[in-house]
Structure formats: structure tokens, C-alpha cells
């Protein structure tokens, strides 16, 4: 085209044709293979401890998961009870039980991971854990104590209101007598619930 248009000379055209032929020849050939093949990292074979252990392994893992889930449910129930207790009331038993459950759950998950990494040992135990000396309180006891704590708080607030009413000099004598009876009943109930709570 450039020759017909008068833009290229025939001697330039010959050099361009030979360059085009060289490029076409190189394109038809296969690309050169790289000098070095990419290093392949050998996949390490799993040791006997890393391989799944069959039924015993699956049963142990399922047992640990089930136990952890049950403890997590119990912990959730206790945590929900905390919402019923005033922030100003000390509920050591409830929070300590929640913490104990958290420690047990973490221990179960540690055991699960240990078995996944190291395999199930012949005894099926996890690092010879020492037996707990202090028996944990049952969920019912902890719930009952939490309910008693909430009830005691309500009664103390009621006692405070009735006491303020009695201190009012403008209140009628008939109302004062009624409030005195209510105050005595409230005090008796507080003493009764405090004794019950102390036993738990």
C-alpha cells in the first residue's frame, strides 16, 4: 500500500518482508521451554497419628462435641438469669458457675483439637487431667439461688418504700397501722428468704 501511495521505497519493503517472514516462522514454532521447571513442594505424608481413626475417633469427637454443646446450653441459661439480677447485687455463685462452665467447655475443645492433631491414644484420655475435688453445684440450685436473689431485692425495695411512707408525718393513722403490718410481713419474708439463700 505504501509503495502504491509513494510512501515507501522498494528497498525498504524488502527488509520489512524478511522481518515479517522471520516473525511468522517464530510464531509457528513452539515457545521455548523454561530453563528450570518450577520446584514442586512434596506433600508430606500424614503420620499414623494424623489419619482418621475410624469409628473410635468419630465417636470420641461426637461425644466431646455433644458434651460441649450441653455445657454451652447450661451456660446460656445461667447467663440469661444474670439479666434478672440487679447490677448492684452480688451474685458470686451464678458468675462463678458460668466461669466454671466456660473453663470446662474450653477444656473439651482443647481435647478435641489435641485428638485431631495427635490421634486418639489407647486409653482415650486427654493428658491425665486431675479429678475435680469440689463438686459443681447443679443448675437447679444456681437458678433457685438467682430467683431468691431477685426476690430479696424486690422485697428490700418494698421495705424501703413502706418505711418512707411510715416516716411521713402527714399520713393517716389507719394507713400507718396498715403499713406497719406490711413492713413486719416484709421483714419476716426477707429473713426467711435470706436463710434459704444462705443454705444453697
Q: Residue 136 and residue 37: Cα distance in Å, rounded? A: 63
**Sequence spans of domains, the chain:** 51-135, 137-200
> If 0-12 CB within 10 Å is exposed, 13-18 middle and 19+ buried, where does residue 132 land?
exposed
Query: 94 near 85, Cβ under 8 Å?
Result: yes
Residues 6+ apart with CB under 8 A from 50: 117, 119
Residues of 45-68 as b/e, b for ≥16 C-beta within 10 angstroms? eeeeeeeeeeeeeeebbeebeeeb
Give the global pTM: 0.40
Q: What is the pLDDT along the chain (200 residues), one digit of tens a residue?
A: 555 566 767 777 788 788 888 888 877 776 655 555 555 555 555 554 444 456 788 888 889 899 999 999 988 888 888 777 777 777 777 788 888 888 898 888 888 888 888 877 645 455 555 444 445 566 677 778 888 888 888 999 999 999 999 888 888 888 888 989 999 999 999 888 888 877 76
Amino acid at each position: 500500500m505504501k509503495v502504491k501511495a509513494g510512501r515507501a521505497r522498494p528497498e525498504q519493503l524488502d527488509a520489512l518482508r524478511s522481518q515479517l517472514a522471520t516473525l511468522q516462522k517464530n510464531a509457528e514454532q513452539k515457545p521455548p521451554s523454561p530453563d528450570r521447571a518450577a520446584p514442586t513442594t512434596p506433600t508430606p505424608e500424614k503420620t499414623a497419628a494424623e489419619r482418621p481413626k475410624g469409628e473410635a475417633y468419630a465417636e470420641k469427637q461426637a461425644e466431646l462435641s455433644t458434651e460441649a454443646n450441653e455445657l454451652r446450653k447450661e451456660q446460656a441459661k445461667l447467663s440469661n438469669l444474670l439479666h434478672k439480677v440487679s447490677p448492684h447485687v452480688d451474685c458470686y455463685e451464678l458468675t462463678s458457675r458460668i466461669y466454671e462452665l466456660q473453663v470446662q467447655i474450653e477444656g473439651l475443645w482443647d481435647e478435641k483439637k489435641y485428638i485431631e492433631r495427635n490421634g486418639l491414644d489407647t486409653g482415650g484420655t486427654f493428658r491425665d487431667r486431675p479429678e475435680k475435688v469440689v463438686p459443681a453445684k447443679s443448675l437447679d440450685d444456681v437458678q433457685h439461688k438467682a430467683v431468691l436473689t431477685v426476690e430479696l431485692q424486690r422485697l428490700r425495695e418494698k421495705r424501703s418504700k413502706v418505711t418512707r411512707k411510715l416516716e411521713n408525718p402527714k399520713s393517716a393513722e389507719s394507713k400507718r397501722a396498715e403499713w406497719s403490718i406490711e413492713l413486719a410481713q416484709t421483714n419476716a419474708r426477707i429473713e426467711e428468704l435470706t436463710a434459704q439463700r444462705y443454705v444453697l
